[in-house]
Structure 1
Amino acid sequence: MEKWPILLLFFAVFCFSLPPVNAQSIHASVERRYGPFYFQQPIDHFNRHSVSFQQRYWANTDWYQEGAPVILYNAGEGPADERAAFVTNSSMALLARQLHGIVIVIEHRFYGKSMPSANFSVASLQTLNTRQSLEDMAYFIKKVELPNLAGTLPRPETKWIMYGGSYSGNLAAWMRQKYPHLVFAAVVSSAPVEIRYDMYQFFDTMRRYGPVECIRKIQAAVAHIDAILFGPFAESKKKIKSLFGVADLDHDDDFAELLTRPFKLWETKTPTVDRFSDEFCVAFDHATDISEYIHAYANYIRKMVADLCATTASVRECLNTHNPQSPMYTNITAVNRAWMWQRCTEYAYWQTAPPLWYPSIVSRKLTTDWYQKQCPLMFGEHHVPARPAWRMMNRIYKGWYISLSRVFWIDGQWDPWRTLAVNSDEAPDRSHWNEDAYYAVLPQSVHHWDFYVSDTTSSFHIEETHKQVHYAMSQWLQEA
């Protein structure tokens, strides 16, 4: 643990500007020689009679020298197609080149084309859980033969380094925890390892770090809207919804959730592009009183709804989450069912308004009930738990109290997900823990900005961050 104070000082000194996961430069197509390849993965690792499915992966062996490590990145809760380019253009590819190793991107089960089943029915989704997903990677490490590598990887001598960000970062940390005999080290970025049912901290992060005047006006507008929504006058509710372009949206919680949609822009921030400020906050620039704040907010939402609901017959059909017959619940081929299943069964992470004693930029009509009611509607009340097993997940994987050696933990100061990461302001002080690990909080940055090495957004600070990761891994490999 003696290295920890040095790294903390390093990251406190420099103001880092690192691009997020959706940096356009990363989305270049990857050459066919890197994949996709297909690995025969058991559908159920805990049934010895299980059949298999084809799990996609991409691999770059260009820099490999015998005895060097393999870096494995699980693409997490989405198709891996865009992230396939990480094998050539990313911080993990840079690390692989520096270590003369291999970098692999593997697609998570039930996402993209790595489908154990043809649909997302309840019966199919029984094997979509953390335990199976971790076992996928363990089995892959033990069995894979890379088609673009001359020769085979020496086993068990080859060192495997897990790399991940966000949910994928959780998996990287938990692989190091559960399979220390297979996983030598890990780089864990923006990983919310402390599972929470009510994640009110998500929006509160934006309130704390967003542009002061913009946040003040949003907060005032939302407080006024809530006074109406919690009031007894139906006509006033109808008028405020009409102003926002959703007059026929019956349920207040659906309206409350709609008002949070612009906040999604927060996580699209890059060092050079700030859509949250330039597209959303700018709407409030000339608003000088509460009436103008509300009208500015309404104008933005109306335009957004026009685009969002352009192909549906009505706003009610588009935004109503209370209809059990809605296609959002009945279409078992809808790809969003995979992550929803994971949240309904294990993770929750429901993003809500904060407690009453906190100021809020989110309507207090948005509670955990808005999210939780969707689980039985989508999957059937007898097929999902009354609440996700988030407490059990924390017991198994230790939440904030996870203690691992040879792990480099990185978070962004302004990342809403840092509130559940080991670098959270609320997490236990780890400075005296007996572990050989690195911790870094990158100032004024959001979700895993440390991933990227793009020509247009790279900087001295990014390069120094990567040097620290390289240094840590090199030291650990030399000591092994």
Structure 2
Amino acid sequence: IQIFLYSFLLSVVLLLALCAPAWCRFKGFGRLHALGQQQLREAPEELWFPQKLDHFNGADDRLWKQRYFVNEAFYRLGGPVFLMIGGEGPANPAWMQQGAWLTYAQKLGALCLMLEHRFYGKSHPTADLSTDSLRFLSSRQALADLAHFRTVMAESRGLTNRKWVAFGGSYPGSLAAWFRLKYPHLVHASVATSAPIHATVNFPEYLEVVRRSLASENTECPTLVKEASDAVAKKLQDPKTYDNITKDFNLCSKLQVQTEMDSAYFLETLAGNFMDVVQYNEDNREFEGVVGTNITIKVLCGVMGDRSLGDPYARYAAVARLMMDTFSMKCLDASFSNYVRDMTNTSWDGTAAGGGRQWIYQTCSEFGFYQSTDSPNQPFTGFPLQYQVKQCASFYNISAEQVAEAVAQTNEYYGSYDIRSSRIVFPNGSIDPWHALGITQDISPDLPAVFIKGTAHCANMYPARSEDLPQLSLARDHVFVLLQQWLKQ
């Protein structure tokens, strides 16, 4: 769910916030975690499910095909059905072969399904990504997709009387909670991992958590980052420094700063190095084939504290070069005009069609979530809320007032923090900035929170490994115990 990632890695790899099937920082497989003798040996087959384009207009009978996957390896007659919810990126088949949910499935004899989110991956409901087409992209339509998929699959596979459990991480975690909230007759329980359930236009708390997470490694680290970010911002005010900045940060073309949007984009791009690493610190994404998982908060703070590299500005540039080397980037494209070009390309073949144009639309039309520098209690400079919201107008002709109204409607529809439901568990990690918009304390005995100290975004969803913190292992066990209890109800 991160806006800033497009500033940095849009042209390389789609790394948005999704832990689970989506922007799970989507990709291939990596080392496998043994799940028993019945583990799938090959990538699962792509299957296709017919869906209505508009579930809320009975006069519109247009259909499209939605991608899904099935793993029957662990299913025992009478067992539950686990449904992994896709999010803002391609559904990754790796999740049909690994992950904590499959460990639960093996123990509980569950049939496992994963449904890709409309408008992401290969699930194309419309001919293009024009703003007119994106009218059919929303969490409400996605939940209706899930409901119809669940109903038809239950009938066609003889699973009507089975108990269904929804799983999701990050935005799909929100969908898992809301699926149980809005369709309680269809889903028996939900595991809503790292789920932001409160929509907000301005989300400066994200960077406040980044500061605290950096400080947890080294108390000087956020101060050094602040000095460096301020230094870059000051240099951007003097065109004479642009050649040096271009060289220092290995930019693909000479830095051009003609408007505040240009400087904000560049500053956000550099901040994104730290934001992404904090969000996914020491997770287990390598099983998906995600590169860069060896870059941790400790590594970045180590660079920022290395006096031999020069002043904080020079160390900031060293971090940028480290990230480029890690992701095999020849240079850093810091051009805001190139970003606008990519984001306004409405073709399915466009650079941002992997999820960027779609997700930013959802932030403008439903959620906000803009990670601005508007708080004084964070270490970055120069990308205020105004910069984020202006993109909604530029890309989709959605005004700031419309964004605010859409966010208010989202909270009114789903209830924000005041969820009234049952059998939903909310795991969150203390290092993950998204926990600031999630449930970190029990709402009720039937709506428990699992707050995991020292872990990052969606950590409990990944395959277990020997180096996991004890509290992470206990959190996975806690979720399993809840599932056992709830499936008996």
Smaller-chain TM-score range? 0.7 to 0.9
* Amino acid across the alignment from 2:211: R
State the partner residue of 1:222.
229
Matches within 5 A, 1:378-389: 378-380=395-397, 385=402, 387=404, 389=406
State the partner residue of 2:77.
66
Report whether the alignment pairs 1:421 with 2:438: yes
Which residue of 476, 480, 484 corresponds with 1:466?
Answer: 476
Report whether the alignment pairs 1:108 with 2:120: no
C-alpha distance 419-234 of structure 1, shift in aligned 2 (>3 A): same
| 8 Å Cα contact 1:26-1:90 kept in structure 2 | no
Report whether the alignment pairs 1:347 with 2:367: yes
Report whether the alignment pairs 1:140 with 2:149: yes
Distance 2:433 2:399 in 1: 33
| 8 Å Cα contact 2:48-2:68 kept in structure 1 | yes
Structure 2, unmatched stretches of 5+, are 1-18, 285-292
| 8 Å Cα contact 1:347-1:389 kept in structure 2 | yes
Distance 1:324 1:286 in 2: 32
C-alpha distance 174-299 of structure 1, shift in aligned 2 (>3 A): same
SS in 2 for 1:89: coil
Cα offset for 1:173? 0.3
Distance 2:470 2:302 in 1: 30
C-alpha distance 345-161 of structure 1, shift in aligned 2 (>3 A): same
Distance 1:131 1:169 in 2: 14
C-alpha distance 462-330 of structure 1, shift in aligned 2 (>3 A): closer
State the partner residue of 2:313.
294
| 8 Å Cα contact 2:168-2:176 kept in structure 1 | yes
SS in 2 for 1:349: strand
C-alpha distance 292-68 of structure 1, shift in aligned 2 (>3 A): same
State the partner residue of 1:427.
none
State the partner residue of 2:410.
393
C-alpha distance 136-241 of structure 1, shift in aligned 2 (>3 A): same
Distance 1:324 1:436 in 2: 45
Cα offset for 1:114? 1.0
* Amino acid across the alignment from 1:256: L
Distance 1:352 1:325 in 2: 19
State the partner residue of 1:152.
157
SS in 1 for 2:371: coil
Report whether the alignment pairs 1:207 with 2:250: no
Deviations 1:13-41 (A, max 9, x none): xxxxxx99569446999656843211111
| 8 Å Cα contact 1:345-1:384 kept in structure 2 | no
State the partner residue of 2:451.
441
Cα offset for 1:467? 2.6
Cα offset for 1:418? 0.3
Distance 2:281 2:370 in 1: 22
C-alpha distance 473-305 of structure 1, shift in aligned 2 (>3 A): closer
* Amino acid across the alignment from 2:302: V
Cα offset for 1:258? 2.3
Q: How many residues align?
A: 436
C-alpha distance 329-465 of structure 1, shift in aligned 2 (>3 A): same
Distance 2:133 2:328 in 1: 30
Cα offset for 1:225? 4.0
C-alpha distance 222-375 of structure 1, shift in aligned 2 (>3 A): same
SS in 1 for 2:296: helix
State the partner residue of 1:6.
none
Which residue of 132, 139, 150 corresponds with 1:123?
Answer: 132
| 8 Å Cα contact 1:75-1:108 kept in structure 2 | yes
Cα offset for 1:224? 3.9
Distance 1:461 1:234 in 2: 50
C-alpha distance 27-36 of structure 1, shift in aligned 2 (>3 A): farther
Cα offset for 1:69? 1.3
State the partner residue of 1:196.
200
Distance 1:416 1:109 in 2: 26
Deviation larger for 395-404 or 22-31: 22-31
Deviations 1:151-194 (A, max 9, x none): 83242x22111111100000000001001111111111100111
TM-score, with length taken from structure 1: 0.80
Distance 1:228 1:58 in 2: 51
**Percent identity between the two aligned chains:** 26
C-alpha distance 271-162 of structure 1, shift in aligned 2 (>3 A): closer
| 8 Å Cα contact 2:453-2:471 kept in structure 1 | no
SS in 2 for 1:408: strand
State the partner residue of 2:102.
93
C-alpha distance 33-297 of structure 1, shift in aligned 2 (>3 A): closer
C-alpha distance 374-68 of structure 1, shift in aligned 2 (>3 A): same
Deviation larger for 39-48 or 330-339: 330-339
Which residue of 314, 336, 348 corresponds with 1:321?
Answer: 336
Distance 2:320 2:461 in 1: 32
Report whether the alignment pairs 1:51 with 2:62: yes
| 8 Å Cα contact 1:347-1:388 kept in structure 2 | no
| 8 Å Cα contact 2:282-2:294 kept in structure 1 | yes
Distance 2:460 2:340 in 1: 43
State the partner residue of 2:461.
451
Deviation larger for 71-80 or 273-282: 273-282
Matches within 5 A, 1:240-255: 243-244=248-249, 248-250=255-257, 251-255=262-266
| 8 Å Cα contact 1:25-1:454 kept in structure 2 | no
Which residue of 259, 265, 270 corresponds with 2:282?
Answer: 270
| 8 Å Cα contact 2:278-2:296 kept in structure 1 | yes
State the partner residue of 1:260.
271
* Amino acid across the alignment from 2:54: D
Distance 2:311 2:419 in 1: 48
SS in 2 for 1:453: coil
TM-score, with length taken from structure 2: 0.79
| 8 Å Cα contact 1:43-1:52 kept in structure 2 | yes
Distance 1:244 1:64 in 2: 52
| 8 Å Cα contact 1:269-1:446 kept in structure 2 | yes
Distance 1:416 1:408 in 2: 19
Distance 1:302 1:460 in 2: 34
State the partner residue of 1:377.
394
Distance 1:382 1:203 in 2: 25
| 8 Å Cα contact 2:367-2:406 kept in structure 1 | yes
Cα offset for 1:343? 1.2
Report whether the alignment pairs 1:184 with 2:204: no
| 8 Å Cα contact 1:37-1:57 kept in structure 2 | yes
Distance 1:220 1:24 in 2: 37
| 8 Å Cα contact 2:82-2:166 kept in structure 1 | yes
| 8 Å Cα contact 2:367-2:407 kept in structure 1 | yes
State the partner residue of 2:50.
40
